[in-house]
A and B are shown apart, each in its own frame.
Chain A
Amino acid sequence: MLLFEIIAVAMAAVRANILRSVLTTLGIVIGVGAVITMVALGEGAQQRVEKQINLMGTTVLTIRPGQQFSFGVSRGDAQMSVEDAEALKAGTSGLLKVSPELQSRLQVAYLRWNSNNQMMGVWPEYFEIYNLGLSAGRFFDEGELNGRRRVAVLGHAVPGQLGETPGELMIGQTIQLRGIPFEVVGVLEEKGDAAFFRPDEQIFVPQSTAQFRVMGGRDRLNAIYAATATTAELDRAFGEIDRIMRREHRLQPGAEADFNIRNSADLLATFNETNETFTMLLAGIAGVSLLVGGIGIMNIMLVSVTERTREIGIRKALGATKAAIMTQFLVEALFLCVLGGLLGVGLGYGAAALMTRVAQWDTVVAPSAVVIALVFSAGIGLFFGIWPARRAAILNPIDALRYE
């Protein structure tokens, strides 16, 4: 009953000073909005990475050249050759599908069109490892690999870059890779964009063809890819690869490996780690702005107490108790903070949506972030409202009335 009246009184005070109330709330609105947006960005980035890793395949192991050491001193980047890939294939048959990757960015010509693309020299297994599908034509096969045939499978976006938009029209056509004619035998399905794996704009040719006919015999591999059938086999595959690679590279037992093996989960973990740090940092900064917003509220409440000292005096003279006065000011502060919090949540949603639309950043507004932001802003209202409220409540009525 009385509480209801006091709330009404507090609301009347908010209404009587709309501009001041709005300005007071602004700090909280911006603070909460910033927290929600930042967390949404972090969450969105995380989900995007997870999606990408799934796209890449969770059973893929990537072997990359590492540092080469002799007597503990680095001698620069180690090399990985096609023999390594062949040894892996021979030594783990049944367990692993293996493909080397020779990479070269080169000029691609088709009729009067030119484009600059990445040529990937791979084995036919590559398409299975990454679970790539065809939208037209076929993959190249083992025979074409062994025969160093000039055949190419185009990423989904390549026909468009070469002016011939529908992929199937490219089948059987001849394109020039660094001036060397290749027959297009297949066009891939769209795969989408996955961080360091973007097959849509790549051109796949047999590794042997790439090595001997385009790159002048150079067989320095960018990476070797291997995939198991199930994730359960990953650990065993890891051990096997390590053993075979050490043997091939003639490393002493216990010596530092000159290659490294990563699986998608590792990549995910590293990514998440940096991403989490980043999110925490952003949320921290946003949290500081929320705190500043809270101090703003306290400041305004204090000014309000001073400004309304006479009012407090009148109310006390007419019988308002300490609790009544304190409740009135607390309700006012709480109301402003919660209102600010709600508006901030709206702002956060809006900003996140805008970032997704304008900058194409993935954002996910987590319900937990909304709840935490709201509880936090209510907490700020309480925390920063109590002191001014107490100051108002303990004023002696006669002193308050005398205040000019």
Chain B
Amino acid sequence: MSELIIRTQGLTKHYVLGSETVKAVRGVDLEIEEGEFVAIMGPSGSGKSTFMNMIGCLDTPTAGEYWLDGQKVSDLSDDQLARVRNGKIGFVFQTFNLLPRATALHNVELPLIYAGVGSKERRRRAQEKLELVGLADRMDHKPPEMSGGQRQRVAVARALVNEPALLLADEPTGNLDSVTSADLMKQLGDLNKAGQTIVLVTHEHDIAEHARRQVHLKDGVIERDFENKPVEAAV
């Protein structure tokens, strides 16, 4: 019996805009076990990103509870959340969110800086992850000098460098062409096979096919939640 990485209960997020309240996420109960590969799907505006931000500890819920890796994080302070993000979560953004003026290597080192890892060890681990994503020869390049696919791989290396319990990706292929997308998805699949828990948001079905489970959101609630048929044959 695997351990629960994610457990949410009635997770809710409301945005108050003047007199109007946008109910982006309206009570989501979800459990994700260690080693799972989950794709979150749903139409635009259904609350996927809002939900991901909450489980990535980038945003706090309006109501509901959230346990990450056995720790209740829904009522932690800002700085405590920062430490959780630093230690347990790797986040891959649709827009990469790399520091444009820093080299690939420095970008990947960033989480380790805030974890207080010494510079030699930091360098070693960052190089290792960059090699893993196939960028051994691009370490000293800055993001503007790289292609979209390369940037996204830097982002993946950065997300992995702190050996996170949970790898999150919000539409990681959203800014990539289909070939590069397939590459990235294969990479994520390999990681998952090596035991990495992954949750990713997408609204492309062929991307979601790479995952082993699909959770469909609609209007801020779970509409469907099912296991994919084994995809090995399809790849």
Contacts and interface: CB of A to CB of B under 8 A. Distances in A.
Interface of A: 1-2, 5, 9, 12, 16, 310-311, 313-324, 394, 396-398, 401
Interface in B83-131: 83, 85-87, 91, 93, 97-99, 101-102, 110-111, 113-116, 118-119
Nearest to B159: A318
B115 A398 contact: no
Nearest to A311: B99
Contacts, number: 63
Contact of B79 (A310, A314, A315, A321): A321
A321 B82 contact: yes
B136 interface: no
B78 interface: yes
A1 B58 CA distance: 26
Contact of B78 (A2, A311, A315, A322): A322
A314 B86 CA distance: 12
Contacts of B219: none
A323 B78 CA distance: 11
B216 interface: no
Contacts of B102: 12
A317 B85 contact: yes
A319 B93 contact: no
A152 B219 CA distance: 113
Given A311-B99, A317-B97, A398 B114 contact: no
Given A319-B83, A397-B58, A314 B113 contact: no
Contacts of A316: 82
Contacts of B79: 321-323
B78 to A, nearest CB: 6
A319 B97 contact: no
A1 B97 contact: no
A28 to B, nearest CB: 25
A319 B85 contact: yes
Interface of B: 53, 58-59, 78-79, 82-83, 85-87, 91, 93, 97-99, 101-102, 110-111, 113-116, 118-119, 158, 162
A8 to B, nearest CB: 9
A313 B110 CA distance: 13
Given A1-B116, A1-B118, A318 B59 contact: no
A268 to B, nearest CB: 60
Contacts of A314: 97-99, 110
A396 B59 contact: yes
24 contacts: A5-B119, A12-B101, A12-B102, A310-B97, A311-B99, A313-B97, A314-B97, A314-B99, A314-B110, A315-B114, A317-B85, A317-B91, A318-B85, A318-B158, A319-B82, A319-B115, A319-B162, A321-B78, A321-B79, A321-B83, A321-B114, A394-B78, A397-B58, A397-B59
Contacts of B114: 2, 315, 318-321, 324
A305 to B, nearest CB: 16
Contacts of B86: 318-319
Contact of A318 (B53, B78, B111, B119): B111
